[in-house]
Amino acid sequence: MCRSYTGTALLVLLLSHLGTSCFRNAPQASVYVCPGEGPRYGDYKCNHDQTHRVCARLVDNPTSCTALSWNADGRSFWQITGQQGWNWKDSVCGGPNPGDSWCICMWATANLIREVGCDNVHINCAATDVLWVMRSYSDGGWDLREAKACLQRKCN
């Protein structure tokens, strides 16, 4: 059973119970809707599964639905990460939550940052579960240190 604590006792408890069910099930900080995220989570937020916690801009604008270039050579999110270009046009641009973004994996975020640099990543901080990412160490075999440093800098 989880109890309520305040002040220093809470900090000590959280640090000592890192990874226990009381800590994992604690309420998450407010995460805004990721504009363009499909209906897979119902509320269009990037705070539901173990990996899709970063809201990233994938298209130039929702009207044209042209894949956004993430670096000087014009490569898109899908080209850089090697992921299959799932049917993003129906979800991101014309779906029930129109917008230019999607909830992406933490490993894909780390890959993008390594490939294009922190200054060139297109992340919607308000719609990213930054606290979750900061508590994570790896995802899909990727070390998240560089991604966490970038999010800390960009999202403060």
Could you tell me the CATH number of the domain that includes residue 63?
3.30.56
Domain that holds residue 139: 31-155
Token pair 């599964």 is at which residue?
49
Residues 59 and 105 in one domain: yes
Which amino acid is present at 86? W
Q: Do 128 and 31 touch, CB atoms closer than 8 A? A: yes
Give the chain's residues under pLDDT 70: 1-29, 85-92, 94
What's the total number of domains in the chain? Answer: 2
Q: Do 98 and 36 touch, CB atoms closer than 8 A? A: yes
Residues 56 and 122 in one domain: yes
Residues 61 and 94 in one domain: yes
Residues 85 and 128 in one domain: yes
Instruction: Give the end-to-end CA distance of the chain in Å, rounded to a whole number.
Output: 33
Using one digit for the tens of pLDDT, what is the confidence trace for 34-70? 998 888 888 999 999 999 999 999 888 777 778 888 8
Average pLDDT score, the chain: 79
Residues 57 and 131 in one domain: yes
Q: Give the pTM.
A: 0.77
Residues 48 and 98 in one domain: yes
